[in-house]
Amino acid sequence: MHARRLGLKLLAAHLLLGGGALASAQPAAGDWAGHGRYRAANASLPAPASGERRVVFIGDSITEFWSPALAQAFPGKPYVNRGISAQTTPQMLLRFRQDVIELQPAAVVILAGTNDIAGNSGPSSVDMIAGHVRSMTQLARAHGIRVVLCAVLPAAAYYWNPAIQPAATIVALNQRLRELAREGGHRWVDYHAALADERGGLPLKYSEDGVHPNAAGYRVMAPLLEREIEAALKP
C-alpha cells in the first residue's frame, strides 16, 4: 500500500538519522521547540468553517508519521497533524499555543512522553512528563478545547538509546496519564493495552523498529482513537 511504503520511507530516514528527527523536522538554530516547523502551514490554514469541528493532533514521530495516511484513516474528517519527530513534552508545551490553540480546534489529541523517557532532551522523571502533559490539558481547557489523551505506546527498547529499558517506566507514566484523564474529565485512548506484547514491547507485527507503529499498528490505533474523538465532540 502507498501509505505503508511512505511510512517505511519516513522511518528509514528516521533510522538513518540515528533516531533523531527527520531532516525536514530539524529545527532552525535557536528554535528548540520547533515553532518554525508549522508556522507557514498554520498561516495558510483557514479558520474552521461554520459547524466544522477541527481536531489537532500534537505529538512526536508517532503522530507525524501518520500523515498523509491520517486522511485515509479518517476520511473526510477535519483533522490537522502537528507532530514533530523526536520531540519531548516540554517542546510540545512551548509550541502548544501556536500549533494547537491558535488553530481553533474543538478538540486536541495528545500523544507524548516516550522521547522524554528516552532522554531526547535530557533526563526526565514521570512527574516531569506528567506535569508537562497536565499543563497542555489545562491550556486546552482554558480555551474551550476538549482533550483526548493517549497512552504512550509500548516499547521494550529504544534503538537510538539502548542503555534505557523503558517498558516499566512507560507503564508507570501511563498510569499517571490515565489518572490525569480521569481527574480532568478527558477522553482516554489505551494504545498500550491494545499493542503491547508479553515483554511490554511493540511486537514485530505492529512495528519494524519496536517503537514506531507500521501500517498494521496504525490500523489498530485508528478505531480506538476515533471512538474517543467522537465521544469528546459530543455536545
User: Per-residue pLDDT for 4 more than 70?
Assistant: no
Listed residue (92, 113, 221) closest to 173, CA to CA: 113
What SS3 state is found at 79?
strand
DSSP 175: H
Q: What is the mean pLDDT of residues 49-68?
A: 95
Q: What is the mean pLDDT of residues 67-76?
A: 87
Q: What is the mean pLDDT of residues 75-94?
A: 97
Task: Show the cell assigned to 43.
Answer: 498561516
pLDDT value at residue 12:
47
User: Per-residue pLDDT for 13 more than 70?
Assistant: no
Task: Count CA atoms closer than 13 A to 6's CA, side-chain side.
Answer: 11
User: Per-residue pLDDT for 80 more than 80?
Assistant: yes
User: Per-residue pLDDT for 81 more than 60?
Assistant: yes
What SS3 state is found at 82?
strand
CA-angle at 84, arms to 78 and 86, nearest 5°: 150
What is the pairing mode between strands 55-59 and 79-83? parallel
Q: Given the C-alpha cell 489498530, which residue does it identify?
A: 220
DSSP 53: -
pLDDT band with cut points at 50, 70 and 90 for residue 68: confident
Alpha helices by DSSP H, listed for 65-144, are 69-73, 89-94, 96-99, 114-117, 126-142
Model confidence over 152-187: pLDDT tens digits? 999 999 999 999 999 999 999 999 999 999 999 999
pLDDT band with cut points at 50, 70 and 90 for residue 3: very low
Among 7-21, 32-46, 75-89, 190-204, the range scoring the smallest mean pLDDT is 7-21
How far is it, in rounded angstroms, from Cα 176 to Cα 23?
Answer: 33
Q: Could you tell me if 110 and 137 are in contact, meaning their C-beta atoms sit under 8 angstroms apart?
A: yes
How far is it, in rounded angstroms, from Cα 194 to Cα 100?
Answer: 27
pLDDT band with cut points at 50, 70 and 90 for residue 10: very low
Model confidence over 135-147: pLDDT tens digits? 999 999 999 999 9
pLDDT value at residue 130:
98
DSSP 120: B
What SS3 state is found at 91?
helix
pLDDT value at residue 70:
86
* Residue 107: strand pairing partners: 55, 146
Q: Could you tell me if 100 and 140 are in contact, meaning their C-beta atoms sit under 8 angstroms apart?
A: yes
Percent of the chain surpassing pLDDT 90: 84
Q: Could you tell me if 216 and 36 are in contact, meaning their C-beta atoms sit under 8 angstroms apart?
A: no
pLDDT value at residue 27:
63
pLDDT value at residue 156:
98
Return the number of other C-beta atoms located less than 10 Å from residue 9's C-beta. Answer: 10
Q: Could you tell me if 202 and 157 are in contact, meaning their C-beta atoms sit under 8 angstroms apart?
A: no
Q: What is the mean pLDDT of residues 1-16?
A: 40
Backbone angles phi, psi at 85, to 5 degrees: -55, 140
Q: Is 40 exposed, middle or buried (0-12, 13-18, 19+ CB in 10 A)?
A: exposed
* Residue 83: strand pairing partners: 59
